Amino acid sequence: MKDRTAQLATAAIIALGVLIGISQFGGSHAAVFADTMEQIQKAHSVVYNQTFCDEDGAKRFMSTQMIDERGILRTEMEFGTVLISDFARGVILQLNLSQKRAVLTYRIGEKRRAPRVSTHLTWTNHLRDGSELIGQDVVDGKMANVFVADAPFQKTTVWVDPQTDLPIRAQRINIRNPQADIVVPSLSLDVRDFGADHSSGSSMGGSDSSRGIQKGQIILYTDFQWNVDLDGSLFSLEPPADYTVERKQHDATDRGDLCLIDALSLWTEMSGGAFPSDMNDLTDPNVVTPLLIARFDRDEDPNEELGQAMAAGNVLLKAAWFVQRHKADNNWWYAGDGVSLGDGDKIICWWKQEDSKTYRVISGNLHIGDADEAPQLP
């Protein structure tokens, strides 16, 4: 078995050279990285590569990121998919180059924002909040200042060109929350699940690094090109004329704890009235995928049925994230196993409200209310 150093090298993860001047640079230097943040805020465009690797350093996939002066993001995946994301308008265009197929997704129910280049560089957040200049290292033939920020469940390292105060390389290590019952919610379905004779998958997921609700992984950011002129056609949301186009909506409305009522209502509809045995079932492919297929496969248009199934999956996904965040805070209890819809005298789940002494409680008739004391597990 390869040792960890060899694995990281194989995955093209940076092997740090001997840092020089550590004693000179030791201590907190947040003001120094503030200069870098200022230059990032001023940037009108950037192009860079990002490589995703497993915890052991084995490469999974790579993409190229392009961000223009309007904050529109173009992502080119190495396996032939392009995503163009305009969050100010709430529109995402996905292009499958080999199949000449386009999917236009309109996000509804969310506040619009006017993103800029820095909006998409989320790996800089922890360094902005507090970082340490630990020394210098040679990267791509240039001497760079090396900044490190340690946060719960995440460690970020950035190599900065002292001449421009802009990053030339970065690495983020995401650490999974070690609690055994926490899962990373995600859903994936394929149009073949609904009778199509070709493969075209859809998936949804995400991460919450603040609580470690994420897969353990290493992400490497390289080959930065700052403030370059980018052709506007690269960021067009108009599908090519010879592409088959599908249009759909993604509801990003924040329903608060009512997302649980939405998800449990949908689940009992699909399961014949039974509540899930565990809330992790909401995104367990072995449990939820057969339910979604059975509910939406009507031998009609497979692409339309896939879209409807993914919309329902989005309802489940929102609730799953709500649950995992509370689990990460040790603030979640579930007693729905074996309970059916309509059992109003039975408690399904509860959690303590933030900054409150009371608990939120959901019963078997899907009533949600407050309680002064926590129910007792059966």
Q: In this predicted model, what pLDDT tens digit does every residue of 307-349 receive, in sequence order?
A: 999 999 999 999 999 999 999 999 999 999 999 999 999 999 9
Task: Say whether both 107 and 74 belong to one domain.
Answer: yes
Euclidean distance between CA atoms 223 and 48, whole angstroms:
5
CB 208 within 8 A of CB 214: yes
CB 135 within 8 A of CB 19: yes
Domain that holds residue 356: 257-371
CB 33 within 8 A of CB 39: no
Instruction: Please give the biggest Cα pair distance in the chain.
Output: 70
**pLDDT score for 13:** 36
List, for the chain, all residue ranges whose pLDDT scores fall below the cut of 50. Answer: 1-31
Task: Say whether both 225 and 308 belong to one domain.
Answer: no
**pLDDT score for 206:** 86
- In the chain, the amino acid numbered 118 is S
**pLDDT score for 44:** 96
Task: Say whether both 92 and 226 belong to one domain.
Answer: yes
**pLDDT score for 167:** 96
Euclidean distance between CA atoms 75 and 241, whole angstroms:
20
Task: Say whether both 29 and 139 belong to one domain.
Answer: yes
Task: Say whether both 153 and 270 belong to one domain.
Answer: no
- Percent helix, strand, coil in the chain (nearest 5)? 25, 35, 40
Domain contains 210: no
Domain contains 252: no
- Predicted structure pTM score: 0.85
Euclidean distance between CA atoms 94 and 99, whole angstroms:
12
**pLDDT score for 203:** 86
Domain contains 183: no
**pLDDT score for 264:** 98
328 secondary structure, DSSP code: H
Question: Count of domains in the chain?
Answer: 2
CB 349 within 8 A of CB 336: yes
Task: Say whether both 79 and 158 belong to one domain.
Answer: yes
Task: Say whether both 279 and 135 belong to one domain.
Answer: no
